[in-house]
Amino acid sequence: MRRTCATCMHWRPHILYPYIGFCNIHSTLTFDDHHCDKYEPIKINGRAQLYWCQTCRTRLSPEEAKAHIARGDRVYIGGYIDPDVREEIYDSF
């Protein structure tokens, strides 16, 4: 598996644009194929109370997260909600 942001536990995918996300280590937005030396693989271990399924666009409990991973969904420790996303949504109408 490639060591990219998309497979790193510090990265949170944007809820509307899954190819970009927020890196908790560098406090910046990055693309999913970016990488750095702080990479750690995603682990579903129950420490987080809620996880984010990018495939289904929904929050999950640790048990649900494991089931979604088993069926091939992309699960993260959280999703990133851009503070300006509300403006983007309303501008489209």
Residues spanned by the domain of 28: 5-91
Give the residue among 17, 73, 83 at the shortest CA–CA distance from 42: 73
DSSP 8-state secondary structure symbol assigned to residue 15: S
Q: How many domains does the chain have?
A: 1
State the pTM of this model. 0.79
15, exposed or middle or buried, with CB in 10 Å at 0-12, 13-18, 19+? Answer: middle
Location of structure tokens 């949504």: 89
Residue 18, Cβ neighbours under 10 Å: how many? Answer: 17
* pLDDT confidence of residue 44: 81
Location of structure tokens 């420490």: 47
- Distance separating alpha carbons of residues 34 and 93, to the nearest angstrom: 33
Note the pLDDT tens digit of each residue in 5-60. 999 999 999 988 889 999 999 999 999 999 999 999 988 876 778 899 999 999 99
